Chains A and B, each alone.
Chain A
Amino acid sequence: MKRLFNNNLSKILIIFTILYLLKYVLPQSFMLEVIILSIYTMGCSFLIGRVGFVSFGQPAYLAIGAYGTAFYLYYFGTNPFVAILVGILLGLIINIITGAFFIRLNSSYYTLCNQAFCVVNFFIFQKALVKYTHGDNGLWFLSRIDPTPVIDLSRTEGVFIFAFLVAVGVWLLFNYLMNHSVFGATCLCVKCNEEKLRFLGYNVFNIKWLAFIIANTITSLAGALYSLYFGFVSAGITAPSKAIEPVAISMLGGAGTLFGPLVGSFIFIGLKDIASQVISYWELLVGLMLIIVMLAGEKGIVGSLEGFLSKLINKHGNNEGLQATNIEGEVGSE
């Protein structure tokens, strides 16, 4: 039992099985939103928790992926897979360019520069490119999406399965990056003490750049999925007022944890869809919850629960666990 819960691959398998089964209990649209929002938040959570980059500009990267997909489907073609690829590639190119400049900044300057980038993007999509984006009226292309074999992305069911599989892939990727790669470890070291990493012979700039590119391209991928799901994109997707959402969800779930974005997204969409039917100011509940979670230890829900659960599992673990504790005790007494 202990070994099962200590293995992240098992956790991913269990959690995503539950997530898939939940679509038979909860509305499919709700689950789809949770999945896409959690992919969106994953990049942000990784940057905050593992690299130390807090960004209030994530809607910009989301919008780039969304508009890449939308432009393709509205103006050029009808294949949704190609459209997603276009969204990702556009995101990748923009992230490579912007990342090379933004990661030179530290802490609050990085945060605000991203916010400014978000504002610039909002202006571009709403005003400057209004001829192509149709500004706030947006681009409608649902009817232009061709049915596709195996997974039909012209239907919500197909988008759900595709987004679900993408999410599994994203989680496997981040599990590898966070827990099994030197790159993941160096990211954490950048957050702790980047100067020390330089002493060891690492090019910190490249590490931060790669982290930025990976995380924000995943955000663009989420944008492409949003675009495909709604069959519509408007400038509102990059509204600066929405910039707090991925940061708040990351903090709520647990920034830098593997499952924090999923838990945070589930709670956020849950409150938005359910609590908003009872009270109009549902954001108030998110705010209060965020304050409580932060005061409880700044680790988010998953971070706090992980500590509690591992203590519980160790306490009721088998003899192997006790033996391991004793060995550690001996070392400690030296």
Chain B
Amino acid sequence: MPKNNTILEVTNLNAAYGQSKVIFDINLNVKLNERVAIVGRNGAGKTTMLKCIAGLLKASSGSVIYDGMEIMGKAPFEVAKMGLKYIDQDKEVFLDLTVRENLQLSSYATGDYNWDRVFEHFPKLKILLDRKGAYLSGGERQMLMIGRAILGDPKVLLIDEPTEGLAPSIVNDLVTTFHDLSKDSAIIIVGQNLSFVSRVAQRIYAVKEGRMIAEIRDKEEIKEATYSRYL
């Protein structure tokens, strides 16, 4: 069991695209079943941060401890297999594959064929099983992406801009879904939709120009979204 229930601990993380440094000495930690948000303006380095944690980008220095183990330098598929899943912001599923096949892919990789948990959160996917990814709406794709990710019982879900391009009613549903999902996994959301973030997150990190400038724990401040002053 990790110390203090901390499932993910990032220390002094630095990353660069070529010569251009993008994130500077990032420190963050997430506890089991916690819902954490990272907020910041476009280009603040939020996505880069998630990608470094997931192993998709090579960080120049720092440490990422997941479930008591150093995962820095591990291949993204190894990180995913360990139970740290990344959900991209582009809402792209495998377009040529049906919903069923998309889920099967995830099941095969994780050995978890229990889709009831997926349907419990997203009952609509059960109806859409034979529909190809190309014919799904943005909301349905988001459901499928999260559904795929929760197979294999991940301990941490990294979700990049989950509400981007979604209708308000679907965003409302996602609030409930993320609350439910956090019973099994810690969730880190990157987002600019502050009203959504305020309804989901228990703790917020504000990022500006690649630097972590504030950690907001105050419930009132989160609820009222007054942390926007940091952005």
A binds B: yes
CB-based contact A204/B105 at 8 Å: no
Alpha-carbon distance between A260 and B141 when the two chains are bound, in angstroms: 31
B71: min CB distance to chain A, Å:
13
- The answer to whether B54 touches A188 (Cβ under 8 A) is no
- Counting CB contacts under 8 A, is B230 at the interface? no
- Bound Cα distance A189, B133 (Å): 12
A130 CB to nearest chain B CB (Å): 45
Q: Are B77 and A201 in contact (CB under 8 A)?
A: yes
Is the pair A199, B76 in contact by a Cβ cutoff of 8 Å?
yes
B124 proximity list for chain A (CB < 8 A): 334
- Within the complex, which residue of A200, A204, A328, A332 is in contact with B106, where a contact is CB–CB below 8 Å? A200
A residues within 8 A CB of B135? Answer: 332
Interface string of A195-221 (1 = CB under 8 A from B): 111111111100000000000000000
A147 CA to B135 CA in the complex, in Å? Answer: 57
**Could you say which residues of chain B place their CB within 8 Å of the CB of A197?**
77, 105
CB distance from B72 to the nearest CB of A (A): 16
Q: Are A182 and B105 in contact (CB under 8 A)?
A: yes
B86 at interface (Cβ–Cβ under 8 A)?
A: yes
Whole-angstrom CA separation of A192 from B96 in the bound complex = 8
Minimum CB–CB distance from B86 to chain A (whole Å) comes to 5
Chain B residues near A185 (CB, 8 Å)? Answer: 94, 97, 101, 104-105
- In the bound complex, CA of A193 to CA of B95 (Å): 10
- Chain B contacts of A186 at CB under 8 A? 105
In the complex the two chains form, what is the Cα distance from A185 to B94 in whole Å? 10
Known: A188-B96, A189-B97, A331-B131. A199 touches B104 (CB 8 A): no
Can you name the residue of chain A whose Cβ is closest to the Cβ of B76? Answer: A198
Bound Cα distance from A120 to B95, whole angstroms = 39
- A188-B97, A199-B85, A199-B87 known; A193 vs B106 contact (CB < 8 Å): no
Instruction: Say whether, besides A185-B104, A189-B94, A192-B94, A198 and B56 are in contact (CB < 8 Å).
Output: yes
Assess whether A200 is in contact with B109, with CB atoms less than 8 Å apart. yes
Cβ contact within 8 Å between A188 and B152: no
Residues in A neighbouring B106, C-beta threshold 8 A? 200-201
**Cα–Cα distance between A202 and B81 once the two chains are bound (Å):** 8
Is B1 an interface residue when CB atoms closer than 8 A count as contact? no
Interface presence of B92 (CB below 8 A): yes
Q: Which residue of A lies closest to B104 (CB)?
A: A182
In the bound assembly, the distance between CA atoms of A331 and B149 in angstroms comes to 24
Q: How large is the interface on B (under 10, 10 to 19, 20 to 34, 35 or more residues)?
A: 20 to 34
Report chain A residues within 8 Å CB of B85: 199
Write out the residue numbers on chain A whose beta carbons fall within 8 Å of the beta carbon of B80: 198-201
Q: Contact: A331 with B88, CB < 8 Å?
A: no
Nearest B residue to A206, CB-CB: B77
**Contact between chains at B81 and A193 (CB < 8 Å):** no
B22 close to chain A: CB less than 8 A: no
In the complex the two chains form, what is the Cα distance from A195 to B79 in whole Å? 13
Given contacts A185-B104, A186-B105, contact A199 B94 (CB under 8 A): no
Which of B54, B95, B97 is in CB contact (< 8 Å) with A199? B54
Interface pair A189/B127, CB less than 8 Å apart = no
Shortest Cβ distance from B93 into A: residue: A196
CB neighbors of A among B127-155 (8 A): 127-128, 131, 135, 148-149, 152
User: Could you mark each residue 4-38 of chain B with 1 if its beta carbon is under 8 Å from any beta carbon of chain A, else 0?
Assistant: 00000000000000000000000000000000000
B75 and A193 contact, CB distance less than 8 A: no
With CB as the reference atom, state the residue of chain B lying closest to A331. B127
Contacts of A246-275 to chain B: CB distance below 8 A: none
Please state if A199 and B105 are interface contacts (CB–CB under 8 Å).
no
Report if B108 contacts A (CB, 8 A): yes
- CB contacts (< 8 Å) of A334 on chain B: these are 124, 127
Q: B110 at the A/B interface (Cβ < 8 Å)?
A: yes
CB under 8 Å from chain B, chain A span 261-311 = none
Whether B77 lies near A198 (C-beta < 8 A) is yes
Residues of B within 8 A of A196 (CB): 88, 92-94
Ranked 6 nearest A-B pairs via Cβ: A201-B80, A201-B109, A198-B76, A201-B81, A182-B108, A200-B109
Besides A185-B97, A200-B110, A331-B127, 12 more A-B contacts (Cβ < 8 Å) are A182-B105, A185-B101, A186-B105, A189-B94, A193-B94, A195-B56, A197-B105, A198-B77, A199-B85, A201-B80, A202-B77, A331-B131
29 A-B pairs with C-beta separation under 8 A: A185-B101, A185-B104, A185-B105, A186-B105, A189-B94, A189-B97, A192-B94, A193-B92, A193-B94, A196-B88, A196-B93, A198-B56, A198-B75, A198-B76, A198-B77, A198-B80, A199-B54, A199-B86, A200-B109, A201-B81, A201-B106, A201-B109, A201-B110, A202-B105, A202-B109, A203-B77, A328-B131, A331-B131, A332-B135
Binding site for A on B (CB under 8 A): 54, 56, 75-77, 80-81, 85-88, 92-97, 101, 104-106, 108-110, 124, 127-128, 131, 135, 148-149, 152
